[in-house]
Structure 1
Amino acid sequence: MSAGGQVAEALPGSPAGLVVRFQGGRTASGPPTSGQANMIRCVLTDPPEHMNYGFVLTVPPGKTLDDVVAAVVLLISRHESLRTTFRDGLQHVAGEGELVIGVHDSQGSADLADEVAARLQAVRFDPEGELPVRAAVTLSDGVPERVILVLTHTTVDAVGLSLLRVELNRLLFGETPEPVTAPQPLDVAWTERSPASLKRAQAAIEYWRTNLERIPRSTFTASVDDGDNDWLMPRLQVRSTVAARALGRIGARTGVSRSAAVLAAYTLLAGLRSGQRTAVALAISGNRFRPELRDYVGPLAQDALVPIDLDEPTFDGVLRRTRAAALAAYQNSRFDSDALIQVMEEVQRSRGVFFARDIVFNDMSVHGQGRRAGRTEEYEQDVRSHWLPEATMPTRVSLWVRTVEGEVDFTLWTDPRCLPRADAEAFGEGIARLLIEAADRDVPLSEVSGLTGVVPLERGEGWTTIDACWVHLPEVERLVRDAVGDRPFHVTEDGGRLVCHLAGPVSPVEVHTACVGRLSGRMAAMAPHHYVVHDGAPASPDGWAALPVLEEGTGR
């Protein structure tokens, strides 16, 4: 196969497939982009089903296996990210090489392609020694039916995957592709090392530090432990043509973009449900706001931290705050991930909380517009929803937006421990219903529960707010117990601070370090702010004040 997409000889490989050759442009090496560096770490440690992306396309009628292979090879030749491996701290772009394309006889099975995709997606990629793309084709009586492509997160993010899906589909139909005008990852990496880019990256780290020191560590705080969580999530798809029209009127009335309006409704309902005055969303595609990166095929998967203060009387106020917060977040969403991890660890120790990635917003609509225009009357009911099969997603609640013009179409992923199905249905449909109501008027926040059915969570005994975070005191006690073992202790709340009395001898720094080290995955726990080490233990919790004090301190 050649870089121009002309079919050359496909060499017979193993019985499972064909070995095909690709030729791209340059052979080159250089530093990884900040997005690639971030994803390499995740690909090596996170479950492969979270780090590998895949899609299945139906082959157009009349196409041969050679046609399908040629389309796949041309796709690889056009995008350096599909030919890039990583070793010795560098990315290495292969100008040519080989790829095995699996070939499978469907034998009448309509599900074979999906099964093959799942198998390919379940195996961890080796960023150092393996091309970051796996391909396969299913045949029926020698005629190609479906083509499968699986890529790792070092290669694309969700928007990049959408771009490749559209492009491969066009190639399968025999369209002549336009030249690639977006930068290749190696070009982005060198740009990121310019003085101006380095200055922006440092400013982004400071932006994160400032916000991490003040925002709630989670929004959907619940008394759960992620130790054995498989992150298998129910998914609710919500669609509404009426909400799409409403977004247009909201924009005309307030100047807020469609994407920001959806984000505002999402975070407002999250804050309402959880009883938080500030809701924190992590947007994972907003850092494509620069025009030159709009069609970039590479990972820009660095979170944009969007804290939205909800202390407003009306929804218009939340819309304005969301617009400002999102703009600031997107401008600070490219950074050195190692530096950010260090900042997060410092803040975790100083505040005694573990920052949870629990509200995610992924707006892919910029690459999905125009698909749903001209709906017939049967789709004109205001809001429709249905449950999709469960899938894994390591967050509490995620909103993946596909379209916001012609039809609002999004999928809500929910952790049932934090948002049971009945509540999730009200939440997902409530986003659309709030937008519809806000089309022509400024909705008072006092009316939102009645409009959407989303009501504040009732928290029982032991719940309190400390340092902008919901905290469950029994969970704090369990955290300390796991940290100190059989040593007697007692935790109290004193003026918005958690004070831990415990029997010595022991160092406050030692105990605090042990508590902080066990915070991960505990949504409702917080490490104590102050430790008082006593000489011995009292007979009852009320007796600690009478004991001599050996040492006290913050442990921070």
Structure 2
Amino acid sequence: MSSPTLADRMKIAFEGLRAGEGPLTCGQTNTWQWMRTDVANPMATLQWKLPLPADTPVADVVDAFAILLARHESLRTTFHEHDGKMRQRVLRSGVLVAEMHQVDASADTELTSQRMIDQLRQKPFDLANELPVRLAIALAGDKALAAVTVYSHMAVDYGSMAILGREFAELIGATGDRSVGAPRHQPLDQAAEEASPRGRRRTAAALRYWTQHLRQIPQCLMALPPVGDGDGPASAALRSSAATVALDRIAARTQASPAAAVLAAFSAVVSVRVGQSRCVFASLSSNRFTSRLRDYVGTLAQDGLVVVDVTGPTFDDLVRQTSAAMLRANRSSIFDVTELVTHAVQINDEQGMDFSRDCVFNNISAHLPPGTDETTNVQLPPLDPPDLRWSPTAGAAEPSTLTWMPAPAFPNRLVLQLIAAQPALVVGLSTGDTRHVPPPEIAGLLQGMETVLVASDAGPLPLADVPDLTGLTPVPRDSDWVRVGVSWVRLSEVQHLLRDALATPAYVTAEPDGDRHRLTAHLLATDSVRTPRQAHTACMARLAGRYAVSAPHHYVLHDSAPTDLTDLAAWRTQPVLAHGDGRASTEDHR
């Protein structure tokens, strides 16, 4: 099928309740932080296929979208720099130009929708001179067959798009009663609230939460040795009716949400596999925790930091702990990103680590109507026919399925998405790094997670039973792996860091410190690296983006290097010019 033909452009006039200008919200600031240097990033533009009943008049689509533009100020906002700071400017009235594509009445609406999206995404948004939304409609005569939108991430997040999709469907169905309605909580209001004394107390509390945990979490959760030669992405989706039945009973016993039970089960199996009792996830779509934000259309794109300690006698205990951890993370997910970065840099310098954000949890099901299978807007292909089928229990009425899907390149080692809890559990698991997380690892974690949930159907499951129940075993680790604080670290990766950062002969050793290790680097001093502080600063500058690695705790600078750089005894015979930990907080950098 060829791309839909652009037949016309239609001007959609809108008039809202007010115009205004003000500072960015925390969510907008966080989004702009990365978008400003990477406007072509695929995540800078989001997409949504609008729900359309059969034989919907084009005029109804236009009327409904005009009301959405009037109702939600984020859709009629431009962004401008003033005195070095970005500000948002809301237009009261204006025009959105929609693309109208003429298609045959028998056209495949899914293919047509995707190709219209591809065309709308061809160029980045000009945020200063263009509305942050684009609309395309496929029509046959005067009937709309499909309608799609793309948005700038500065205007919406996933939750916002789901709200807009739901309200659009309501407006299409309410042919005789379409109105803008009462004033809503808008991004200008959110920015003012965040700047108020109460808002500043809340963001300060969130900052304390983050800084406390950044000192206590592993640098990388999926600290795994490389397997094979793969280095691209992979993605799979699990569908399990048996797990849904179990989720209902787990919820009845624990009073926790399906999302908490799913994340607890995933944490339980990951903990076994990586030998790490503290599991950490950057949680997306999780900060609509007040009544004013539940129907808020605007980007709240900031991470929640969910820290799950896999402890407790039973899985039910772990579910309750995970539920509490998710609540704490959600309440601490609106913060001043500039302040957090400042504190994170200081913490990184002290610890010699940079949190890798390698594992992400995204509860998409929270934004989809219960009982629906709206997979088109979570970029999943049809889940039938599956690649794998199996029965999670002997008497399972419906087999579980695992479907492999194409995946775009992305930086995380694991992204867990809860897509639906009803009528069947649908969970997606993706990796951007199949060299360390190959497809069998993904399949094993998903099936292990399902096994834990289904086994908990009958009652509380002892956590000690998880390894035997799932068949998962800890990843084998040779002498290259050591524990540094709560993190697994590969000495060979630290050696690579020293080579790349210092460009001088260097050798790292791991010295036992209780059940952990401390790292010491011996190196040949150079004109640019004459002190421990200079050595540590150089290492920290090259640390971002590395996994299972830490800067040394102690640096010893020599005026000569041994012939065999791996001979620690020989290093110790070389004259010492300076030694110390190199941290900014330490005065002694001898």
Confirm or deny a common fold (TM above 0.5). Answer: yes
* Mapping 1:452-467, distance limit 5 Å: 452-467=470-485
Matched, 1:105 2:105: no
| Contact 2:488 2:548 (C-alpha < 8 Å) held by counterparts | yes
| Contact 1:104 1:138 (C-alpha < 8 Å) held by counterparts | yes
Which residue is 1:536 aligned to? 560
Which residue of the other structure, out of 37, 55, 70, is the alignment partner of 1:45? 37
The Cα offsets for residues 374-425 of structure 1, whole Å up to 9 and x where unpaired, read as xxxx994253332233234442211222332443222222232332212212
Superposed displacement of residue 180, structure 1: 5.6
The Cα offsets for residues 458-491 of structure 1, whole Å up to 9 and x where unpaired, read as 2334111111111111111111101121x22111
Q: Which amino acid aligns with 2:519?
A: L
Kindly tell me: are residues 462 and 16 of structure 1, through their superposed partners in 2, closer, same or farther at Cα, counting changes over 3 Å? Answer: farther
- Corresponding pairs, count: 533
CA distance in 1, matches of 2:96, 2:24: 23
Which residue is 2:384 aligned to? none
CA distance in 2, matches of 1:356, 1:67: 47
Q: Which amino acid aligns with 2:88?
A: Q
Q: Which amino acid aligns with 1:79?
A: H
CA distance in 1, matches of 2:280, 2:474: 17
Structure 1 stretches of 4+ with a deviation exceeding 6 A read: none
CA distance in 1, matches of 2:478, 2:314: 29
* Mapping 1:71-110, distance limit 5 Å: 71-87=64-80, 88=82, 89-106=86-103, 110=108
> Partner of 2:216: helix, strand, or coil?
coil
The Cα offsets for residues 504-530 of structure 1, whole Å up to 9 and x where unpaired, read as 242221121111111111112211111
Kindly tell me: are residues 26 and 453 of structure 1, through their superposed partners in 2, closer, same or farther at Cα, counting changes over 3 Å? Answer: farther
Kindly tell me: are residues 370 and 448 of structure 1, through their superposed partners in 2, closer, same or farther at Cα, counting changes over 3 Å? Answer: same
> Partner of 2:408: helix, strand, or coil?
strand
Which residue is 1:10 aligned to? none
Q: Which amino acid aligns with 2:547?
A: M
* Mapping 1:141-152, distance limit 5 Å: 143-152=143-152
Superposed displacement of residue 155, structure 1: 1.4
CA distance in 2, matches of 1:453, 1:170: 48
Superposed displacement of residue 337, structure 1: 0.8
Matched, 1:479 2:472: no
CA distance in 2, matches of 1:177, 1:252: 40
Matched, 1:523 2:547: yes
| Contact 2:482 2:510 (C-alpha < 8 Å) held by counterparts | no
Matched, 1:19 2:14: no
CA distance in 1, matches of 2:21, 2:349: 38
Bigger mean CA deviation after superposition, 430-439 or 489-498:
430-439
Which residue is 1:554 aligned to? 581
Q: Which amino acid aligns with 1:194?
A: S
Q: Which amino acid aligns with 1:346?
A: Q
Which residue is 1:270 aligned to? 270
> Partner of 1:433: helix, strand, or coil?
helix
CA distance in 2, matches of 1:196, 1:511: 43
CA distance in 2, matches of 1:19, 1:349: 54
Matched, 1:69 2:62: yes
Matched, 1:422 2:440: yes
| Contact 1:223 1:522 (C-alpha < 8 Å) held by counterparts | no
Kindly tell me: are residues 124 and 223 of structure 1, through their superposed partners in 2, closer, same or farther at Cα, counting changes over 3 Å? Answer: farther
> Partner of 1:456: helix, strand, or coil?
coil
CA distance in 1, matches of 2:204, 2:335: 7
Which residue is 2:537 aligned to? 513
Kindly tell me: are residues 182 and 425 of structure 1, through their superposed partners in 2, closer, same or farther at Cα, counting changes over 3 Å? Answer: farther
| Contact 2:55 2:144 (C-alpha < 8 Å) held by counterparts | no
CA distance in 1, matches of 2:494, 2:463: 33
Superposed displacement of residue 67, structure 1: 2.7
Which residue is 1:215 aligned to? 217
Matched, 1:196 2:198: yes
| Contact 1:102 1:136 (C-alpha < 8 Å) held by counterparts | yes
Which residue is 1:441 aligned to? 459
Matched, 1:499 2:520: yes
Which residue is 2:406 aligned to? 389
* Mapping 1:265-414, distance limit 5 Å: 265-372=265-372, 380-381=397-398, 383-414=400-431
Superposed displacement of residue 115, structure 1: 2.1
Which residue is 2:487 aligned to? 469
Q: Which amino acid aligns with 1:78?
A: R
Q: Which amino acid aligns with 1:473?
A: L
Superposed displacement of residue 302, structure 1: 1.1
| Contact 2:56 2:145 (C-alpha < 8 Å) held by counterparts | no
The Cα offsets for residues 64-117 of structure 1, whole Å up to 9 and x where unpaired, read as 333322222222121111111221232111111122211223467632331221
Superposed displacement of residue 553, structure 1: 1.3
Kindly tell me: are residues 59 and 404 of structure 1, through their superposed partners in 2, closer, same or farther at Cα, counting changes over 3 Å? Answer: closer
Superposed displacement of residue 16, structure 1: 5.4
Q: Which runs of 5+ in 2 are unaligned?
A: 1-5, 374-394, 584-590
CA distance in 1, matches of 2:141, 2:41: 33
| Contact 2:112 2:146 (C-alpha < 8 Å) held by counterparts | no
Kindly tell me: are residues 454 and 70 of structure 1, through their superposed partners in 2, closer, same or farther at Cα, counting changes over 3 Å? Answer: farther
Q: Which amino acid aligns with 2:408?
A: A
Kindly tell me: are residues 84 and 453 of structure 1, through their superposed partners in 2, closer, same or farther at Cα, counting changes over 3 Å? Answer: farther
Which residue is 2:588 aligned to? none
| Contact 1:365 1:404 (C-alpha < 8 Å) held by counterparts | yes
Q: Which amino acid aligns with 1:458?
A: P
CA distance in 1, matches of 2:348, 2:131: 37
Q: Which runs of 5+ in 1 are unaligned?
A: 1-13
Kindly tell me: are residues 479 and 177 of structure 1, through their superposed partners in 2, closer, same or farther at Cα, counting changes over 3 Å? Answer: farther
Bigger mean CA deviation after superposition, 175-184 or 251-260:
175-184
Superposed displacement of residue 142, structure 1: 6.2
Kindly tell me: are residues 511 and 202 of structure 1, through their superposed partners in 2, closer, same or farther at Cα, counting changes over 3 Å? Answer: same
| Contact 1:42 1:51 (C-alpha < 8 Å) held by counterparts | no
CA distance in 2, matches of 1:235, 1:177: 41
Which residue is 2:391 aligned to? none
CA distance in 1, matches of 2:307, 2:74: 32
CA distance in 2, matches of 1:59, 1:333: 34
CA distance in 1, matches of 2:23, 2:17: 18
| Contact 2:237 2:403 (C-alpha < 8 Å) held by counterparts | yes
Bigger mean CA deviation after superposition, 291-300 or 132-141:
132-141
CA distance in 2, matches of 1:372, 1:127: 34
Kindly tell me: are residues 420 and 404 of structure 1, through their superposed partners in 2, closer, same or farther at Cα, counting changes over 3 Å? Answer: same
CA distance in 1, matches of 2:370, 2:563: 71
CA distance in 2, matches of 1:23, 1:150: 21
Superposed displacement of residue 58, structure 1: 5.7
| Contact 1:254 1:316 (C-alpha < 8 Å) held by counterparts | yes
| Contact 2:286 2:304 (C-alpha < 8 Å) held by counterparts | yes
